[in-house]
Chain A
Amino acid sequence: MDDWKDFRRVFWTLASPGTVWMLVFFIIPMAFLFVLSFSSKAVVDGETSTTAYNYFSTLGNYVAAGGENYLILLWRAIWTSALATAICLALAYPLAMAVCFAPARWRPLLLLLLILPFWINLLIRTYALYSIFRSTGVVNQTLGVLGLGPFEMLNNTTAVVMGLVYVYLPFMVLPLYSTIEKLDRSFLEASLDLGATQATTFLRVTWPLTLPGIITGIILVFIPCLGTFLTSDILGGPNNWNIGNAIQNQFLEANNWPFGAALSFILVYATSIALLLQWLVARRSKGVDA
């Protein structure tokens, strides 16, 4: 590796475009949003202005966001995301094990089958779920043939969680696969040879060794779930809004930008806490990646 001081011109040429782009189109907008979350709409000539703000004037947006209505939305976002993440993990772990322990020539195909849906547009996948589970959808028609239903399967929390699992399952499979693949199988054989049961081997050997992959998977699923608004909007309906929908509503309809900014930053804080927890756990674990 070269020291940047020996090739200043090359260094600055290579580093500038990305850095400038990040500053202008990410850091400055986010910083502005941050400032706005502590601001209030200015009052000009006795009327509330739509364009002017009193910057850094108030904590009121955060206080309002702590109100009962919004705490419910944040809480709902957290527990639906946690539930969806747990279901993804429970499904993805055996699937990733199956792929890793399958004959080598099948592995790429099996893995591809599990992660291919990830490349299809999120909106299209959500709409596909919506159309088969609606009251006149394929699922209800099939049940109708058996003399059951039709059931209302949308506009409830179950639909939202199912939608999140559907959309984010590939994010869990991928890190689990790459960790389990690196796992030294002689550890498992040793454990089984020494008389441990499959369950004990899993809990005391496989799980701890693959912990880094598990944590990465949890983060990759939990964070996008937390900020989701499409799934809850289309599958959950207005009664199942979470914080993402509230943010969208403040910006596109209610037009209260400072309040929407505060809600957005609450989401950023929640994400940061999740990342911090990941870092703390990952630092302590002695898995195959560490």
Chain B
Amino acid sequence: MRAALKPGQGPLDYARRPWIIALFAAVLVFLYAPIASLIAFSFNVDKSGVWHGFTFLNYVKAWHNDQVFYALINSITIALISTFFSTIFGAMTALTLWRFRFPMKHVYENFVALPIVVPEICMGISLSMFFSYTGMMSAVRDWIWPLNLINIIFAHIAFSFPFVAVVVRSRLVGFNRQLEEASKDLGASELQTFINVLVPFMMPALVAGALLAFTLSLDDFVITLFSSGPGSVTFPVKIYGMVKRGVDMQINAASTVLIVITLAATLLAMKMLGPGKPAH
């Protein structure tokens, strides 16, 4: 029966139906053509949208454009610091939810997931009001770098640690608690058990969660736009300003750099989380 059918004709052989293959190809073109074009034109000699020759000049100009350069440095600094704290807070939240029974647990679970579902613009606006009202917005303006970025860092930790918690918690579900008991039976203290048994088990999820927090922070535009004061511009906010003024191939060059950084971090995260990792 099977042998008589050509590929794509089997009743469940959906992946080989010609129309599905055509749709798949069309969607991939739709998804990647704009990005490919953006990267290609970052090497164009002028900004007309017509190919006039290959150059690295846009990259050189973006590198020497102090505003773009420092915006990129700001973004990376914010991402590194907020990733550090988001990973710790996220892991602790995941451990709380995994290990303990406590009253109103379901309410608490939804409570820590709120930043995932509330529209970004509302969270951005509320933080903007909060920072101006408490005086933090104007207070940090004259602080030395990178302390003048502290509001943005606070905001980024708030929206990224719930994502880390989700990632870490789904790994903890596979943990065999008898290992913990064995460690304690053999004389290890609570803290020694945590550091030598539980942390190594969580490690892939910690790395993946950290990389997720890093990309979320580097990518965020809406919340950063509202929680940043005048002096602290990040890379997406700077690019937004440039886009509003018109097309410029420096934007393409700078965007290409950011795309490479985020995709590298993402692929690394996927490798960490990917199949082939034994769950002990």
Does B203 touch A at the CB level, under 8 Å?
A: no
- When the two chains form the complex, which single residue of B49, B120, B165 contacts A227, counting CB atoms closer than 8 Å? B120
Does A138 touch B at the CB level, under 8 Å?
A: yes
> Which residues of chain B are near A123, meaning CB under 8 Å?
221, 236, 239-240, 243
CB distance from A41 to the nearest CB of B (A): 14
List A220-257 residues whose CB lies under 8 Å from chain B.
223-224, 226-227, 229-230, 234, 244, 247-248, 251, 257
Does B166 touch A at the CB level, under 8 Å?
A: no
B117-136 contact mask (Cβ, 8 Å, vs A): 1 or 0 = 11111110111111001000
Give the CA-CA distance A26 to B111 in the complex, in Å.
Answer: 10
Q: A223 to B35, Cβ gap below 8 A?
A: no
Q: A101 to B14, Cβ gap below 8 A?
A: yes
CB distance from B92 to the nearest CB of A (A): 5
Q: B112 to A22, Cβ gap below 8 A?
A: yes
Instruction: Return the chain A residue nearest B88 by Cβ.
Output: A17
> Which residues of chain B are near A251, meaning CB under 8 Å?
125, 128, 226
B93-135 contact mask (Cβ, 8 Å, vs A): 1 or 0 = 1011001111000000001101101111111011111100100
List A108-161 residues whose CB lies under 8 Å from chain B.
108, 110, 112-114, 116-117, 119-125, 127-132, 134, 136-138, 141
Q: B99 to A130, Cβ gap below 8 A?
A: no
Q: B12 to A264, Cβ gap below 8 A?
A: no
Does A185 touch B at the CB level, under 8 Å?
A: yes
> Which residues of chain A are near B183, meaning CB under 8 Å?
none
With A124-B259, A227-B120 known to touch, is A119 a contact of B215 (CB < 8 Å)?
yes
CB distance from B257 to the nearest CB of A (A): 11
Q: A29 to B88, Cβ gap below 8 A?
A: no
Chain A interface residue count, Cβ-Cβ cutoff 8 angstroms: 85
> Which residues of chain B are near A101, meaning CB under 8 Å?
12-15
> Which residues of chain B are near A136, meaning CB under 8 Å?
48-50
Does B24 touch A at the CB level, under 8 Å?
A: yes
> Which residues of chain A are near B251, meaning CB under 8 Å?
127
Q: B92 to A137, Cβ gap below 8 A?
A: no
Interface size class of B (residues with CB under 8 A): 35 or more
Q: B114 to A4, Cβ gap below 8 A?
A: no
Instruction: Return the chain B residue nearest A124 by Cβ.
Output: B255
Does A288 touch B at the CB level, under 8 Å?
A: no
- When the two chains form the complex, which single residue of B93, B118, B128 contacts A15, counting CB atoms closer than 8 Å? B93
Does B158 touch A at the CB level, under 8 Å?
A: yes
Does A10 touch B at the CB level, under 8 Å?
A: yes
Give the CA-CA distance A199 to B31 in the complex, in Å.
Answer: 28
With A32-B133, A131-B37, A189-B11 known to touch, is A1 a contact of B100 (CB < 8 Å)?
yes
With A29-B129, A121-B221, A227-B121 known to touch, is A127 a contact of B27 (CB < 8 Å)?
no
A12-48 contact mask (Cβ, 8 Å, vs B): 1 or 0 = 0111011101100110111011001000000000000
With A21-B158, A25-B158, A124-B239 known to touch, is A227 a contact of B119 (CB < 8 Å)?
yes
- When the two chains form the complex, which single residue of B125, B155, B215, B275 contacts A260, counting CB atoms closer than 8 Å? B125
Q: B37 to A14, Cβ gap below 8 A?
A: no
CB distance from A221 to the nearest CB of B (A): 13
Give the CA-CA distance A4 to B117 in the complex, in Å.
Answer: 28
Stretch touching chain B among A62-70, A91-99, A207-215? A91-99
Q: B34 to A267, Cβ gap below 8 A?
A: no
- When the two chains form the complex, which single residue of B100, B130, B133, B221 contacts A11, counting CB atoms closer than 8 Å? B100
Q: A21 to B161, Cβ gap below 8 A?
A: yes
With A22-B111, A25-B154, A98-B20 known to touch, is A117 a contact of B38 (CB < 8 Å)?
no
B251-264 contact mask (Cβ, 8 Å, vs A): 1 or 0 = 11001001100110
Give the CA-CA distance A267 to B122 in the complex, in Å.
Answer: 8
Q: B90 to A117, Cβ gap below 8 A?
A: no
Q: B100 to A116, Cβ gap below 8 A?
A: no
Give the CA-CA distance A131 to B123 in the complex, in Å.
Answer: 29
Does A268 touch B at the CB level, under 8 Å?
A: yes
Does B89 touch A at the CB level, under 8 Å?
A: yes
Task: Pick the most buried of B50, B101, B155: most chain A CB atoms within 10 A of its CB.
Answer: B101
> Which residues of chain A are near B34, meaning CB under 8 Å?
125, 128-129, 131-132, 166
Q: B243 to A11, Cβ gap below 8 A?
A: no
What are 23 A-B interface contacts by the 8 Å CB criterion?
Answer: A2-B99, A3-B100, A3-B101, A11-B96, A17-B89, A21-B89, A21-B157, A22-B158, A25-B158, A29-B129, A33-B122, A91-B27, A108-B275, A114-B31, A127-B243, A130-B247, A131-B37, A136-B48, A138-B37, A234-B243, A267-B121, A268-B118, A275-B117
